[in-house]
Amino acid sequence: MTSFTVRRLGPDDGAALERLAQDETDFTDELPSPPLTPDAARAYLSDPGVWHWHAEDAGGDPVGFLMAYVHRRRHGEPLDVMFEEIGVRESWRRRGVGRALVDALHAQMRTQGIGSVWVAADSDDARAFYEACGYELDELQGVILSRTGDDGAY
């Protein structure tokens, strides 16, 4: 099996994030995001509430990613993490990349003393993966709704 490493990206890793963005549709079934600028990459990776990991092959090319956000509550309750998205390059699936990324997330949570994480599964395959990683269906299931202003901003 070809090896890979997992690392958390920091403010100086904009180039790695840009490499991921170039092939984004090979990692997920979603539509491509708008082009990523170096300034946008730095701002995103400099935010202490943003946790972003890459799994990279021996040449440093991304084969997977995971992004999560630290979620602060207004009344001082313990922090939790919103596990936003995970993606593994099609040719690297079922090789342990996704599980290694989730393990990195959980290790960071332990280091920070954060005991709770939540994720929205958008397919049966995603739900099965998360359950295999120890996640359980929450009784408080909701429906995600969204709204965008007429000009894309409010």
Whether 38 contacts 32, CB under 8 Å: no
Residue 88 tokens, joined: 């593994």
pLDDT above 80 for 58: yes
All structural domains of the chain with their residue ranges: 4-132
Over residues 129-150, the mean pLDDT reads 80
Q: What is the pLDDT of residue 153?
A: 57
Q: Tell me: the pLDDT tens digits for 67-102?
A: 999 988 888 778 899 999 999 999 999 999 999 999
Is pLDDT of 146 > 80? no
**Mean pLDDT rounded to a whole number for the chain:** 87
Dist. CA 97–CA 152, nearest whole Å: 35
Sign of CA dihedral 143, 54, 97, 70: negative
Q: Report d(CA 27, CA 86) in Å as an integer.
A: 8
101's tokens = 């990324």
Yes or no: domain 4-132 corresponds to CATH 3.30.450.90: no
CA distances from 151 to 7, 35, 147 (A): 37, 19, 12
The set of residues, in sequence order, having a beta carbon less than 8 Å from that of 41 and lying 6+ positions away, is 13, 14, 17, 18
Q: How many percent of the chain have pLDDT more than 90?
A: 57
pLDDT score, position 95: 95
